[in-house]
Structure 1
């Protein structure tokens, strides 16, 4: 588990629709998102609902707690922007199960309806 990350930075790469985690300037993780209400490259400011789709950490940096840092800081950014987040990514869902302080940012997933 990484406990001291003075050079860990999470930023929004709106052109790529993803948050990026960099350690000492190197890209080591991404959290992809989707917001159908805005074009790529334009940060959301109108309180949209954004789907957090997938979380990826470079294999060499796995199992060090970096995914949790990426998700937590991404949720912090979403909260500051007034976004509501739909947690499609299973890692984000698990993270939210142990971090209830983010409940105010979350929009529940809609159940899948079966066709008759």
Structure 2
């Protein structure tokens, strides 16, 4: 499945980066403190698991975070695994 055409939504009211895929909402829960953004929890519905949704979500979130000049504090276990697989993104880590 291709995720390039699916837009990342920054739902600031509830501190979530969201991706809607096939009517299902995946999200990363975050908190912003100063110039740092703490990525707390990533959640993908069971219906979408194993399709690369979480990876696309984190990748899009990092692109957005970098564009805002923020630095990531990866508290989420999935985000930590993503960073091990994609060391090029260490440039956004606080």
TM-score of the pair, normalised by structure 1: 0.74
Distance 2:36 2:32 in 1: 7
Give the drift of 1:8: 2.1
Distance 1:7 1:79 in 2: 19
Distance 2:86 2:26 in 1: 20
Unmatched 5+ stretches in structure 1: 38-47, 108-116
Which residue number in structure 2 is paired with residue 17 of structure 1? 15
- Determine helix, strand or coil for the equivalent of 2:29: strand
Which residue number in structure 1 is paired with residue 26 of structure 2? 29
Distance 1:32 1:52 in 2: 6
Give the drift of 1:100: 1.3
TM-score of the pair, normalised by structure 2: 0.91
The Cα RMSD (Å) is 1.5
* 2:78 is the alignment partner of 1:91: yes
In 1, are the aligned partners of 2:3 and 2:56 still within 8 Å (CA)?
Answer: no
Greater helix share, 1 or 2?
2
- Determine helix, strand or coil for the equivalent of 1:63: coil
Q: Once the two structures are superposed, what CA deviation does each residue of 1:6-59 show, in whole Å capped at 9, x if it has no partner? A: 6422111111101000125x342000101234xxxxxxxxxx111000000011
Unmatched 5+ stretches in structure 2: none
